[in-house]
Amino acid sequence: MRGLLTELGKESDALHRVMATVLENGAASKTLIYGYEIKYCSGNEAFFRENLDEIVDVRTTGVYEIGGREVYCEVLEELPELVVCGAGHVGAACIQAASNLDMHITCIEDREDFAAVAEKMGAHEVLIGDYAEKLDSIRGGDNYYFLAMSRAHAFDEICLEKILAKKFAYVGMLGSSGKIRKIRSDLENKGIPGEVFDQVHTPVGLDISANTPQEIAIAVMAEIISVKNTGKVISTAFDHEQLDAIAADPGEPMLLTVIRKHMASPRDPGTKMVVTSNGEKMGTVGGGAAEHQALKIAREHMKDPSFITEIIRVGDADKSGDGMVCGGVIDVLFERILRDEKAN
């Protein structure tokens, strides 16, 4: 299991990644596949190799019947990367709004005092210096969301020229119609086709008649969320904080993953919570009574050295009186993260 987490912590250029778990025999058989390459495997490796094509074909996180067995397949992506070029009033407000979301936030600023504001607003990483140079250090990818919000039109143009040469999920730029026309013309003269520029969301954000920087930030982040989630049922696997907590834990923490949801559960399959060896939780499986039960079960199992994995339904709607329960009803895969990889 720790070998799997090590692989997940590495950067990858793989366009499609699937983590598959056979839901029998304590869910001890697990694999991590990048493209068609098995990066990690525990338990029944022969089963995964025999059914590799069918597992790779999965595009939506959920439970499937594969090879005559129930297999939980989690389609993975890395934590979304938000890159904000500029920490002026709107840029700083966007950083603050995004800090409440599951995104890794990088801000690029060429002014040290504004860079300090970005850090205060919640940016995980602040790159101080020339916009073009700092953007060269960012690889881009299908999970990157860029915002051009620098202090001048010329700098936004420089940012877009660099960004549009990368892979991205979203690009947004603040600007009037005049600014947009000029930058489009300038970039076309530099060899960037108009259809490429047309991928830029500008004016940026959903039209909610926003006026203040904070309102504009809400409109911008709403648009990014819409782009991020439309047509996708995927998992962000683990966020950086969860991976760091597991790596730093001297004991054997517990990993809880939602594999099925029933009724009005707020969290989708793939949602994770880590319970550290000292009993603290990181993340959520939906809150309410369901999460309270899951947390209690995890802490009890941690006292049992023989426990490895188990699937448990939490959130008993039948006992709520009205057929509903806070946090919904979910099937949760409980897994002890063993320090001894051989034991897994």
Model pLDDT for residues 80-99, shown as the tens digit of each residue: 899 999 999 999 999 999 99
Quickly tell me which residue has 């550290």 as its tokens: 276
Q: Name the residue with higher pLDDT: 320 or 300.
A: 300
Mean pLDDT of 182-197: 95
- Domain span at residue 325? 238-344
> To 10 degrees, what angle do helices 112-121 and 89-98 make?
30
Q: Are both 99 and 13 inside the same structural domain? A: no
Residues 113 and 188 placed together within one structural domain of the fold: yes
- Is pLDDT above 60 for 316? yes
103 and 179 both lie in a single domain: yes
Whether 321 shows a pLDDT value over 50: the answer reads no
Do 297 and 276 belong together in one domain? Answer: yes
Question: In the predicted model, what is the mean pLDDT of the chain?
Answer: 88
Q: What is the pLDDT of residues 111-153, one digit of tens each?
A: 999 999 999 999 999 999 999 999 999 988 888 999 999 999 9
Same domain, 202 and 325: no
Average pLDDT score over residue span 241-246: 82
Does the pLDDT value for residue 176 go beyond 80?
A: yes
Chain-centroid distance of CA 86 in Å reads 23
Stretch 191-209: mean pLDDT: 95
**Domain match, 340 and 202 both:** no
**254-263 confidence digits (pLDDT tens):** 999 998 888 7
228/319: higher pLDDT: 228
Same domain as 209, residue 324: no
Whether residues 191 and 206 fall in one domain: yes
User: Residue 83: what residue type?
Assistant: V
Which of 27, 44, 77 represents a domain boundary (last residue)? Answer: 77
Residues 161 and 282 placed together within one structural domain of the fold: no
Tokens representing residue 253 in the block: 């923490």
Residue 142's pLDDT is what? 81
pLDDT at 217 over 70: yes
Res. 28: pLDDT tops 70: yes
Report how far residue 158's alpha carbon sits from residue 150's, in angstroms, rounded to the nearest whole number: 10
Residue 319 has pLDDT above 60, yes or no: no
Domain count, the chain: 3
Is the per-residue pLDDT at 165 higher than 90? Answer: yes
pLDDT, average across residues 177-189 = 95
Instruction: Tell me: do 220 and 257 sit in the same domain.
Output: no
Stretch 224-235: mean pLDDT, rounded?
A: 77
Phi, psi of 73, deg, nearest 5: -110, 120
Q: Which among 54, 77, 100 is the end of a domain?
A: 77
Q: 217 and 329 share a domain?
A: no
Domain closes at, from 56, 77, 98: 77
Q: What is the pLDDT of residue 17?
A: 86
153 with 252, same domain: the answer is: no
Q: What counts of helices (H) and strands (E) characterise the chain?
A: 12, 15
